[in-house]
Amino acid sequence: MRVLLIDDHALFRFGLQELLERRGIEVVAVGDASTGLRRVGETSPDVVLLDMRMPQLSGLELLRQLRAAHQTMPIAMLTTSAEERDVIDSLQSGAQGYLLKDMEPEALIAALGEIVLGRTVVAPELAIVLARAVQGGDSKGTSAQNGVADLTPREQQILCHLAEGQSNKAIARRLGISDGTVKLHVKAILRKLDVHSRVEAAVIAVERGLCERAPVRDL
């Protein structure tokens, strides 16, 4: 996998580049949007990781320029902003990922893999933001409704933890079960709800009010 990282914060940029390269990921890292715009054509990355807040040209503006120039590679925002408007504007402008800088390294690498495969990935703790964004639009429909009814009590419990943005390890600790058991339950939940990601499952839980209101962030 080749990643083009565009971020004006040098310390973060160098640290993330080293972290990814240690895991066998090729990284081209640049510190400003104009250089990033040029390097996209030169490097043909599998995915672009783009900071939201940069001087002169913001990440969102760069995203729009890349899409206007018919650059079709996956682009993911990597930011500290959990603002609803930023999430929605990014997705509507063509981002295929919206990731937070404080996520676990393993979660970031897994998210990049999903994005390269063509899936849209949003940080799990932002599921409620996605739910607000799709209110009044198309829902998952009858298949999701039927799937919810098919969930076992344990699966419903784990789905609510997903809606809180919890990792498998956090869920396992809370419920006193193994990580492997949680993974099996999550796979069953995705299959029954006919979705491809934890985020989509979490959105359904929030949209349909399946869980009591809980803190969105618990990682």
Q: What is the pLDDT of residues 71-100, one digit of tens each?
A: 889 999 999 988 888 888 898 888 999 999
Residue 147: the pLDDT is: 76
Backbone angles phi, psi at 147, to 5 degrees: -65, -40
Q: Minimal CA–CA distance to 93: which of 118, 59, 122?
A: 59
Set out the domains of the chain in order of their start, with CATH numbers: 2-122 (3.40.50.2300), 132-207 (1.10.10.10)
Q: Is the pTM of this model over 0.85?
A: no
Share of the chain above pLDDT 90, in %: 42
pLDDT of 102 strictly over 80? yes
Q: Which residues contact 1 (CB under 8 A, 6 or more apart)?
A: 25, 26, 46, 47, 112, 113, 116
pLDDT of 129 strictly over 90? no
Mean pLDDT of the chain: 84
Determine the 3-state secondary structure of 99 from DSSP: strand
Q: How confident is the model at residue 8 (pLDDT cuts 50, 70, 90)?
A: very high
Residue 135: the pLDDT is: 52
pLDDT top residue among 123 and 142:
123
Residue 128 parent element (H or E): helix 127-133
